């Protein structure tokens, strides 16, 4: 029998969502931050046109998709790389720019896959405390070590839903050594674009990468498309480890069509924000405590790990699945995806019943 590398053998499998509704209950999954509505109809129509040419390999340079993104965001198409979701790009960045001699660094409640990517690269994973589930630039800068090579920051954050302004991202970049690569994961960036603080211009400095995805605001999680804007030297190295046929033709064409239907995506973001804020207000009136959110989910502060576990058990018995966040250092919380109004009403009702019984 052959054996895995020791650092891989020491890893635990990535924690997937558990979605087994009890018998007789309809599953309401509010655990994976999926969109509350399907992709743009034009994207689905475009994907269907590719089925007859599925014997061909997809475009390894994602040409049409890159140019659609460049036109929408006013950025250089030559700096765009695409991956099978932004997770693919994060994993490749960790493989190339971290390792036994170059540690990975992130905020304390970072997206758990950041740690996984570091472990696969055999890199030490360091964290710095957050303040009220908000990234602290001061804490990050104070905790940088001599061997820090890669800093990963999700903004808006997952699982927190909170964000820091562009001025703080700039302060972080300016405070880091020039040999440290800063990666800003904006998987939920479209939900905050109305604030007018896009960070693509930071890439011009040569040591910053901005990532985005089609899985959230575009409602295309099943198509597996992520992308990022990269400095030329970083992109050149990353292409060496990327799968040259990483995104199917149907996904590329669908994503390009979705980009060109910007109004549909913006409408999805507006619908989501309205329902999110209504849900947050309702929960606050009921005595629950959601954190501020700039995403398509709410992080609920249940007060204690025991209360969070009790609520999670009660909701699952009703077929309602939220996501516990003990793995992100937030055992007193549950993360709730914003779904359609009917699902949200069911989830809120289940939470209210739990709250009354838990008090008793």
Residue 15 lies in a domain: no
Which regions of the chain are under pLDDT 70?
A: 9, 11, 13-19, 21-22, 360
Give me the pLDDT at residue 106, please.
98
Give me the pLDDT at residue 262, please.
97
pTM of the entire structure? Answer: 0.94
Same domain, 253 and 268: no
Q: Which residues contact 295 (CB under 8 A, 6 or more apart)?
A: 33, 156, 158, 161, 188, 191, 216, 276
Q: Of the candidates 244, 260, 276, which is a domain's last residue?
A: 260
Residue 14 lies in a domain: no
Same domain, 191 and 64: yes
User: Whole domain around residue 26: which residue ranges?
Assistant: 21-38+263-359
Same domain, 80 and 173: yes
Same domain, 231 and 286: no
Helices and strands per DSSP (H, E), number in the chain: 12, 13
The total number of structural domains that make up the chain = 2
Same domain, 198 and 69: yes
């Amino acid at each position: 029998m052959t054996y895995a590398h020791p650092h891989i053998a020491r890893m635990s499998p990535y924690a997937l969502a558990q979605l087994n509704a009890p018998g007789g209950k309809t599953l309401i999954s509010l655990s994976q931050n999926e969109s509350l509505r399907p992709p743009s109809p034009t994207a689905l129509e475009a994907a269907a046109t590719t089925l007859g040419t599925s014997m061909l390999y997809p475009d390894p340079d994602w040409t049409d998709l890159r140019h659609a993104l460049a036109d929408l965001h006013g950025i250089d198409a030559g700096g765009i790389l695409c991956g099978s979701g932004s997770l693919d790009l994060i994993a490749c960045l960790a493989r190339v720019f971290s390792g036994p001699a170059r540690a990975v660094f992130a905020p304390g409640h970072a997206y758990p896959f950041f740690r996984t990517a570091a472990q696969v690269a055999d890199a030490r994973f360091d964290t710095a405390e957050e303040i009220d589930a908000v990234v602290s630039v001061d804490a990050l800068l104070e905790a940088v070590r001599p061997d820090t090579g890669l800093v990963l920051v999700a903004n808006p954050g997952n699982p927190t839903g909170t964000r820091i302004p562009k001025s703080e991202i700039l302060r972080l970049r300016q405070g880091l050594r020039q040999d440290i690569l800063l990666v800003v994961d904006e998987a939920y960036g479209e939900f905050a674009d109305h604030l007018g603080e896009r960070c693509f211009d930071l890439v011009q400095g040569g040591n910053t990468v901005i990532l985005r995805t089609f899985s959230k605001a575009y409602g295309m999680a099943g198509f597996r498309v992520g992308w990022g804007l990269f400095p030329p030297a970083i992109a050149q190295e990353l292409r060496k480890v990327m799968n040259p046929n990483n995104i199917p033709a149907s996904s590329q064409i669908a994503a390009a069509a979705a980009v060109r239907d910007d109004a549909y995506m913006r409408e999805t973001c507006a619908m989501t924000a309205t329902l999110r804020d209504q849900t947050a207000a309702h929960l606050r009136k009921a005595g629950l405590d959601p954190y501020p959110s700039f995403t398509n989910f709410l992080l609920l502060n249940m007060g204690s790990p025991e209360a969070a576990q009790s609520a999670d058990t009660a909701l699952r018995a009703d077929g309602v699945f939220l996501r516990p966040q003990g793995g992100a250092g937030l055992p007193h919380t549950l993360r709730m995806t914003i779904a359609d109004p009917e699902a949200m009403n069911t989830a809120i009702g289940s939470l209210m019943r739990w709250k009354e019984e838990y008090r008793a």
